[in-house]
Structure 1
Amino acid sequence: MKKLLLLLPFLLAACDTREIAVDPVRAGYDYFPLRAGQSTVYAVESIQYRTGRPADTARYEIREVVQEPVTDLAGEEAFVIHRYYRPAGSTAWKAEPDSVWTAKRTARLATRTENNVTFVKLSFPLKKDLAWNGNTFNDRGDDGYKVTGWNQPYEAGTAAYENTVTVEQSNEADECVKKNVQYEVYARGIGLVRKEITEVYYLQPEGACDFTQTISYGRHIVQRLVDFTE
């Protein structure tokens, strides 16, 4: 009888299937907010490099508007995102979206489906040095993402954010062959505020490295937030 009494607390604990409450702020959910009507505008500068040609620079803006939530094929709440494009300096947005993406946030992951390819943007609970596979839900092969900046101020030009998380998506550099550095910055209560991609390959005359890092081909893209409304 005494043994049974000693085991009783453990048996009761094992039978308790209640979920432990998660603090949304500590988990980092507010770095990936999704609310119907939420609108973000990004300024984008895209430089394309091609062998034997001058660099081609394009400047434009992207507007994303979150629509009402829907239930996806997994039975989870997802949000449709209407995306609009306009050249830099233009004042008018098209009446119809140029593309439609989706995004969702579960207790463990924040994902975006971009041009029918799903990426794991964030993993929860967020913390410094947290790592995950950004390509978990697509067939592009493993791609290691890592939190390199956590809950820290961030400034870019005239923009300043008190709390941000930086996600490193790629950090490959070979002074003779290529440079592939990609990262995203998310601000608390806003979401993505900056995205930068540097993916270039260097000329190698006669297969040798001359260390000049002259770009043969590749791309450099900077996307930064210029307007946000809820």
Structure 2
Amino acid sequence: MYFFLNYLSLSDLCYTSTVVPKLITDLLAERKTISYSSCMTQLFILQFLGGIEIFVLTGVAYDRYVAVCRPLHYTVTMSRQRCNAVITACYTGGFMHSASQFLLTIFLPLCGPHEIDHYFCDVYPLLKLACADTYRIGLLAIVDSGLVALVTFVILMGSCFLMLHTIRGCPAESRAKALSTCSSHVTVVGLFFGPVLLIYMRPAETFPEDKAFALFYTIIAPMFNPLIYTLRNLEMKNAVRKML
């Protein structure tokens, strides 16, 4: 579990660093500007790290599922080679997702005024600036981002239901551990995937509320993910108690 949490924390740190410094600068600056190259760079990196975050969360869910539902096979199933393969797949999937989003927007003919109704460069606000019909591009963006988020959401919730089904006849201590894991999944789904699904599982349009929803999956959820997954862990709680 801590192997995946290491990569989750790293992606969270890099993910928020892509948005927060520019956001703070814009809040302090009188004129809020960003160059075209910087905007495209931010878009690519943000989608890349966001994709990695979603796929690593899927890896965490699979790791917890094996630990609870197949404990005797855990060391064989989740070997170091398998864990490295999962992380490699996460980075590959994140790159493919980011590249597809980047290619959808890089060739768009943009019209003036070049004002983005958002605090970072995202696909939907950029589609709004295009001087061409973006209906098909918007559909592709929904299929890419929305489908990835939806599949991950189903996997996270499915793993939680399978764990609850497996432990229904177990002792109270075992049920408490599994319930702690499920509560972590549900908290992450609420903070991260709820706003993502609200934004990317609808037509490619921007609304004023999108900026408030985006705060959850760009800043709040990445900040709390490591805390959620570690402070809900019994070993971590015992270690903190001993340290205190």
Q: Shorter chain as normaliser: what TM range?
A: under 0.3
Q: What is the TM-score when the length of structure 2 is the normalising length?
A: 0.20
Q: What is the TM-score when the length of structure 1 is the normalising length?
A: 0.21
Richer in helix (by share): 2
Higher relative contact order (CA 8 A, sep 6+): 2
Larger Rg: 1
